[in-house]
Amino acid sequence: MDHLGGRPMELHQIGGALWRQRLLVLLVLAVTAGAVAVGVALAPKTYRATAVLAAAADPGTLASADDLDALRGTLAELAGSRGLLTEVAGQLDVERDVSDLRSAVSAEWVGGTILIQVVAEDSDPVVAADLANRVAITLPYYDPSAGSFLFTQTNEAQPPRTYSSPDLLLAIGVGAALALVLAVAAAVARDRRTSTVDTGAVAEEATGAPLLAHVGVPRDATTLPALYPGTAAADVFRQLRIALEAQAAGDPVSRVVVAGVRPGEINVWLGANLAISLANVGRTVLLVDGRMGPRHGRPIAAEPDTPGLFDVLAGTDLRHAVSPGPVELLSVLPAGDAGSEPYESMLETTFADTMAEAEAAYDVVIVLAPPLEVCDDARVMAARGALLMVVPEGEVSAPALRAHADRVRSVGAGLLGTVLVGRRAERVLT
């Protein structure tokens, strides 16, 4: 069966694909049914006719019942002999080759009776019936019993109304099975290419990483509910923090890059609240805005002339660029004013050293990275660290999500897990 992310699809997943691609399924079924119908209509037809000959024992015969049965069997075998069929071929109104007649004619003694069935097949129903009757009439002249039988043709063959080959029921059965297989294969293949990730199970299968949270889109992405511990809104990020720490327990990480698959303020909202939640439990946290340049959204620093990540990468001391955050133990490193200057080369050459310095000074560094669809910055930032992927529900296909996950891992970054953002109420999986 088809696979997603290396795991076999379950029946309910196949059923969902069939329903979503129901128009394609109906089209495949209709086309296959039409092809089977055309194939049956164009296929050469064979008609089968049967004549029945009775071989009763002559009252004066001395042969035993067992001997007579054996003779009836031998007589049936003689129906396909070349000599008999050569004689019959000369009696037909149409020309038929004797070699063809040998494969078209057969006879069988019906065990426990005195009857011998003669079956003949031909592309013409009239010829099939005539052939069966002529073989039944001629067969007594080849009697091997030396007069032990009295012959009577009890059932004269009639031209058949329908063909015997191709087998219509078999064709319908095979066609139905083929149509079903093709419909399922087409629906699953198209669904994988076009359907979007809308459940945690699909997100996990596509990324090969656990789903840590499934949250709803906030009404205001600038709010910081994690600032108010004990509230239901803050509890969402507390549980996300617990899930994240549990996932990283086996291989602790000090740098977590938060990156959305697609652009949106929701990525920043999640990363900022996660940083606050970590600081609330005694972790020293540095929140880094890695979205350098004007194309990546609003900066988290209020003052445009505040030194930031761009300046640190250009040589500014990290301590001079860091500002206090909204809670104790949380510090913020804004993106800085990169303007139109290229920063990609600095990101590849000095970012790792900057993060090493930050990780030595803080328990956890949270980096807000540009979306994965926009550029490769998040992958570069996550090298030798870990990435938390933010996936919008219903907007990204499973193959595209799988490709993003593979690209993240290709630089040696770990994929801690995913957060699925949808329209449902905020909740976190632990």
Q: What pLDDT is stored for residue 425 in this prediction?
A: 43
pLDDT tens digits for the chain (430 residues)?
444 434 455 676 677 778 878 888 899 989 988 988 888 888 889 999 999 999 999 988 888 999 999 999 999 999 999 999 999 999 999 999 999 999 999 999 999 999 999 999 999 999 999 999 999 999 999 998 888 999 999 999 999 999 888 878 888 888 899 988 998 888 887 776 667 777 888 888 888 888 888 888 888 888 888 888 888 888 888 888 888 888 777 677 789 999 989 888 888 899 999 999 999 999 999 999 988 876 665 666 545 567 888 889 888 999 989 999 999 999 999 988 766 667 778 888 888 899 999 999 999 999 999 998 888 888 888 888 889 999 988 888 888 888 999 998 888 888 888 998 886 544 444 4
Q: Let me know if residue 161 belongs to a domain.
A: no
Q: Let me know if residue 346 belongs to a domain.
A: yes
Residues 273 and 172 in one domain: no
Task: Decide: 383 and 353 in contact? Cβ < 8 Å.
Answer: no
Q: What pLDDT is stored for residue 147 in this prediction?
A: 86
Residues 240 and 287 in one domain: yes
Q: Let me know if residue 160 belongs to a domain.
A: no
Q: Which of 130, 155, 180 is the last residue of a domain?
A: 155
Report the b/e string of 261-299 with b at 16+ CB within 10 A: bbbbebbbbbbbbbbbbbbbeebebbbbbbbbbeebbeb
Q: Let me know if residue 53 belongs to a domain.
A: yes
Supply the CATH number for residue 121's domain.
3.30.70.1130
Residues 220 and 328 in one domain: yes
Residues 58 and 15 in one domain: no
In single-letter form, the type of residue at position 126 comes to V
User: Burial level of 243, CB count in 10 A (0-12/13-18/19+)?
Assistant: buried
Q: What pLDDT is stored for residue 193 in this prediction?
A: 67
Q: Let me know if residue 357 belongs to a domain.
A: yes
Q: What pLDDT is stored for residue 247 in this prediction?
A: 75
Q: Let me know if residue 57 belongs to a domain.
A: yes
Task: Decide: 63 and 57 in contact? Cβ < 8 Å.
Answer: yes
Residue of 403, 391, 171, 349 lying closest to 259 (CA atoms) = 391
Residues 287 and 408 in one domain: yes
Number of structural domains found in the chain: 3
Residues 238 and 340 in one domain: yes
Question: CB neighbours of 171 closer than 8 A, spacing ≥ 6?
Answer: 36, 39, 40
Domain carrying residue 54: 47-155
Residues 17 and 98 in one domain: no
Q: Tell me the two tokens of residue 91.
A: 């009696």
Residues 78 and 16 in one domain: no
In whole angstroms, give the CA distance from residue 229 to residue 280.
8
Q: What pLDDT is stored for residue 305 in this prediction?
A: 65
Residues 135 and 176 in one domain: no
Q: Let me know if residue 344 belongs to a domain.
A: yes
Residues 250 and 296 in one domain: yes
Residues 205 and 269 in one domain: yes
Cβ of 349: how many Cβ atoms within 10 Å? Answer: 10
In single-letter form, the type of residue at position 136 comes to A
Q: Is 221 left (phi over 0), alpha (psi -120 to 50) or beta?
A: alpha
Q: Let me know if residue 142 belongs to a domain.
A: yes
Residues 311 and 211 in one domain: yes
